[in-house]
Amino acid sequence: MRYLPIDPALFIRNRAAFAGAMKPRSVAVFNSNDVAPKSADGVRRFIQQTDTFYLSGIDQEETILLLCPDAPDEKHREILFIRETSDQIATWEGPKHSRDEAREISGIRTVYWTSRFESVFRGLVLASEHIYLNTNEHLRADVTVETRDARFLKWCRDAYPLHRYERSAPILHRLRAMKSGTETALIQTACDITEKAFRRILGFIRPGIWEFEIEAEICHEFLRRRSRGPAYEPIVASGPNACILHYVKNDRQCADGELVLMDFGAEYANYAADLTRTIPVNGRFTPRQRAVYDAVLRVQRAAIPMLRPGNTLKAYHEAVGTLMEGELIRLGLLDAEAVRQQDKAAPLYRTYFMHGTSHHLGLDVHDLGHADRPFEPGMVFTCEPGIYIREEGIGIRIENDVLIRDQETVDLMRSVPVEADEIEALMAG
């Protein structure tokens, strides 16, 4: 792997926490992702299913994790199944994990080849009452493409129709929302790599540059620092493109006098960073651009301390919306009297700030976590207010990643340049 070894204690703790939430006489199964096809005989680079990685640390296809905490034979309470390698596979694809390597990475004592799964599973499941199956229950998930977990669910329910089936997802949403010190350090590494990429492009951007050239510089810096690449499709949006929230074409030439909004983050050891910065293409903000930029920055600086234990996403978003209303009034974009008389269910600030301010961050960019759960120490959120004025061709978003602690919030991107004066100075060289 490109990333440095991770202490297997992380995965041991994660499995113990999941097992502790299971009902008595239960078995749980987690599958790796598929190797995604392209066309003809092409395939895409393998990306592990994040729940499977969270519980095992194994970054390899055709992996299955089985948990059976009440198994009479202690060695079968945790079983890892991995793909059996061969000389032919080693020649064409490279080495795969040996069973000893899988034990060292995961901390799981019992490791079998995947071909043994059905026979081992049958013996354990027939002694169990409950079967925990894993499904993607993220609120924004697109489940059009069938996964290995989804295919296993169909097979399992057909093979063992009289068992009681349970959902793994609610447990994982609760557990994965809380980051351990090891996980926080991995996210911080992803943030640090992302900072290096941002500083690199500050000296590169100029009028006439293409959005994809900026993207190339970002990815270059990621790859040279042990990142597999971007944690999500980078957004490099110049001029009017900055008002397209999920713009990823990155094929426009940046013009003098415009802004370029860049939303990107490195992936490190499967953990994500998520940064947004908006800078002037020619290195100098116009007075209007600077006024809007400073308004967004003021909202972010007031919002970050609100990510504190006991607060909720609903209350937090409402408070940030009130801050944004004041800034939009000062910018002449909203009328104060109209704001006072607005429908609270459809606030006027949504015309210029139409997305949420924060989301969980971790193994997934939009990580797992229940929306109505109060904030707790150990959670990591983004903070990303923005103002988008289509009629002026101005789109500005500023985003940092924040760790909640008992008595403070820790900005994991506190060293990434954000002040307009600092950005202008760095761009000037």
Q: Say whether pLDDT at 141 is over 90.
A: no
Mean pLDDT throughout 349-356?
97
**Chain-wide mean pLDDT for the chain?**
97
Q: Say whether pLDDT at 113 is over 90.
A: yes
Instruction: Identify the band that residue 125 occupies on the pLDDT scale cut at 50, 70 and 90.
Output: very high
Instruction: Identify the band that residue 109 occupies on the pLDDT scale cut at 50, 70 and 90.
Output: very high
Q: Say whether pLDDT at 142 is over 90.
A: no
What are the CA-CA distances from residue 378 to residues 84, 90, 155, 184 (Å)?
38, 41, 37, 8
Q: Say whether pLDDT at 270 is over 90.
A: yes
- The 10s digit of each residue's pLDDT in 376-386 is 999 999 999 99
Q: Say whether pLDDT at 97 is over 90.
A: yes
Q: Say whether pLDDT at 339 is over 90.
A: yes
What pLDDT is attached to residue 139?
A: 84
Three-state SS for the chain is: CCCCCCCCHHHHHHHHHHHHHCCCCEEEEEECCCCCECCCCCECCCCCCHHHHHHHCCCCCCCEEEECCCCCCHHHCEEEEECCCCHHHHHHHCCCCCHHHHHHHHCCCEEEEHHHHHHHHHHHHCCCCEEEECCCCCCCCCCCCCCHHHHHHHHHHHHCCCCEEEECHHHHHHHHCCCCHHHHHHHHHHHHHHHHHHHHHHCCCCCCCEHHHHHHHHHHHHHCCCCCEECCCCEEEEHHHHHCCCCCCCCCECCCCCEEEEEECEEECCEECCEEEEEECCCCCCHHHHHHHHHHHHHHHHHHHHCCCCCCHHHHHHHHHHHHHHHHHHCCCCCHHHHHCCCCCCCHHHHCCCCCCCCECCCCCCCCCCCCCCCCCCCEEEECCEEEEHHHCEEEECEEEEEECCCCEEECCCCCCCCHHHHHHHHHC
- The 10s digit of each residue's pLDDT in 227-269 is 999 999 999 999 999 999 999 999 999 999 999 999 999 999 9
Mean pLDDT throughout 290-309?
98
Q: Say whether pLDDT at 48 is over 90.
A: yes
- The model's pTM is 0.97
Q: Say whether pLDDT at 1 is over 90.
A: no
Q: Are strands 130-133 and 164-167 parallel, antiparallel or unpaired?
A: parallel
Using an 8 Å Cβ cutoff, are 58 and 82 in contact? yes
The structural domains of the chain, ordered by start, are 9-176 (3.40.350.10), 181-428 (3.90.230.10)
Annotated catalytic residues are 41, 246, 263, 274, 355, 359, 366, 384, 388, 397, 399
- The 10s digit of each residue's pLDDT in 7-25 is 999 999 999 999 999 999 9
Mean pLDDT throughout 26-51?
95
> What is the C-alpha separation between 415 and 397, in angstroms, rounded?
17
What are the structure tokens assigned to 166, written together? 């349970």
What pLDDT is attached to residue 116?
A: 97
Mean pLDDT throughout 298-319?
97
Q: Say whether pLDDT at 87 is over 90.
A: no
Q: Which residue from 152, 114, 161 is spatially nearest to 133, judged by alpha carbons?
A: 152
Mean pLDDT throughout 189-211?
98
Q: Say whether pLDDT at 120 is over 90.
A: yes
Q: Which residue has better confidence, 172 or 144?
A: 172
